[in-house]
Amino acid sequence: MIQQGVVVESTGSWYKVDIEGTIHDCRTRGRLRLKGVRSTSPVVVGDVVDVEWSDSGEGAIVGIAPRRNYIIRRASNLSKESHIIAANIDCAAVVVTIAAPLTAPEFIDRFLVTCEAYKVPAVIILNKIDLAREHPEELAAFHEIYSSAGYRVIECSALTGEGVDEIKQLLGGKTTLLAGNSGVGKSTLVNIIEPSAEAKTGAISEVHLQGKHTTTFSHVYPLSFGGRLIDTPGIRGFGLIDIKHEELYHYFPEIMKVSPECKFYNCTHTHEPHCAVVEAVMEGRISASRYESYLKMLDDDGKYR
């Protein structure tokens, strides 16, 4: 007998599959591979899979339904393989902080580019807003950069509960991926949003002002108010994969908007004369930090993760 379910946890060898509300431990059978995708794991959380039952009652994943989208990154330094974080997502939320610790703008931009490239709507959750307000200039600049690029920024505090109701409204009825660097308070936020999740939390390293990894693999939590939340391990870097250099600017909405005004149709927005994008950066209409991220991605040497 074959049944269909959704993968809610992946540890690399065993998978937890939700079939009609009951969680089953399953393995993969044979060499499951998706056409055109070189991935560290053929099955990821969010996948809709076919499970076949043996006479002894053991479940085996024998098929994967076509994915409508996914979030992917380069698996490791200089690796040609990819790491698909999750599939079949309605929304991706990147949790960031501008204090204790500071989330690097390039990490945020790489995540957003990947969301644009794989057609996953993205939002930014600015956590530890109580600490961020101690740096008003940086906070105002952050909003200016990402709001002007067209992204929704939700201010919140896992400590005080501010903004949690707005996040719940965002998550309700959707399958949402929650990602971010270690130390941004992601697991604490998960516990406030859904207390039954009991996600592990960790302290900030005083030496490097970075978080200690607490989530070791992606997990899907059903939300009591409707929807599913995919909590992911803390990600230190986000390497792009399968994005052509000549298409990269398509995934920066503010650059894409201005680019038709360039003199040359094949403008790379780097050195060409009468480039509308460069002019917009010089005039402050496009964020200098976002443009810098664009240039770094064009010059990506494969060392980013």
Instruction: Using DSSP bridges, classify how beta strands 153-155 and 122-126 pair: parallel, antiparallel or unpaired.
Output: parallel
For the chain, the 3-state helix, strand and coil shares in percent, each to the nearest 5, are: 25, 25, 50
C-beta of residue 121 within 8 angstroms of C-beta of residue 149: no
- Residues 53, 19: contact at Cβ < 8 Å? no
Which overall architecture, per CATH, does domain 2-64 show?
Beta Barrel (2.40)
Give the model confidence (pLDDT) of 235-245 as tens digits.
Answer: 777 888 889 99
HSE at residue 240, side-chain half, CA atoms within 13 A, is: 28
Q: Residue 93 to residues 20, 36, 146, 171, 297: CA-CA distances in angstroms?
A: 27, 27, 14, 10, 21
Are 2-64 and 70-231 the same fold in CATH?
A: no
Q: What is the pLDDT of residues 191-223, one digit of tens each?
A: 999 998 876 554 433 333 444 434 457 889 999
User: Domain 245-298's class?
Assistant: mainly alpha
CATH architecture of the domain formed by 70-231: 3-Layer(aba) Sandwich (3.40)
Q: Is the pTM of this model over 0.85?
A: yes
- For the record, the structure tokens of 9 come out as 């946890």
pLDDT at 204: 37
Which of 8-22, 69-83, 139-153 is the least confident region?
Answer: 69-83
Write out pLDDT tens, residues 243-292: 999 999 999 999 999 999 999 999 999 999 999 999 999 999 999 999 99
Rounded distance between C-alpha atoms, residue 159 and residue 188, angstroms: 8
Report the chain's mean pLDDT, rounded to a whole number: 87
Q: How many CB atoms lie within 10 A of CB 139?
A: 18
**Domain ranges for the chain:** 2-64, 70-231, 245-298
**204 vs 295: which has the higher pLDDT:** 295
DSSP one-letter code for 50 = E
